[in-house]
């Protein structure tokens, strides 16, 4: 069976979704994924480098190690 990922916008939506799923006997788990600041900053930096055209094409693992 497929799985759904939902993004409620507030606590009321979350509460309503949980109530409906419980009433319909649909199993679910709640997770809050929070990435560390260094990961978020690294992604932002990489996106900015891409916008600035500062990308280096990947050619082989050997190039990465040098």
Write down the mean pLDDT value for the chain: 89
pLDDT of 32 strictly over 90: no
Q: What band does 34 get if pLDDT is binned at 50, 70 and 90?
A: confident
Q: Return the sign of the alpha-carbon dihedral for residues 42, 46, 52, 54.
A: positive
The whole-model pTM stands at 0.48
Q: Which residues in 27-59 are b (16+ Cβ under 10 Å) and which e?
A: eeeeeeeeeeeeeeeeeeeeeeeeeeeeeeeee
What is the structure's pLDDT at 11?
Answer: 93
């Amino acid at each position: 069976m497929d799985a759904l990922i939902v993004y409620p916008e507030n606590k009321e939506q979350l509460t309503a979704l949980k109530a409906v799923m419980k009433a319909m006997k649909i199993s679910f788990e709640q997770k809050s994924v929070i990435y560390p600041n260094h990961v978020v900053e690294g992604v932002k930096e990489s996106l900015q480098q891409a916008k600035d055209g500062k990308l280096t094409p990947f050619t082989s693992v050997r190039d990465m190690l040098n």
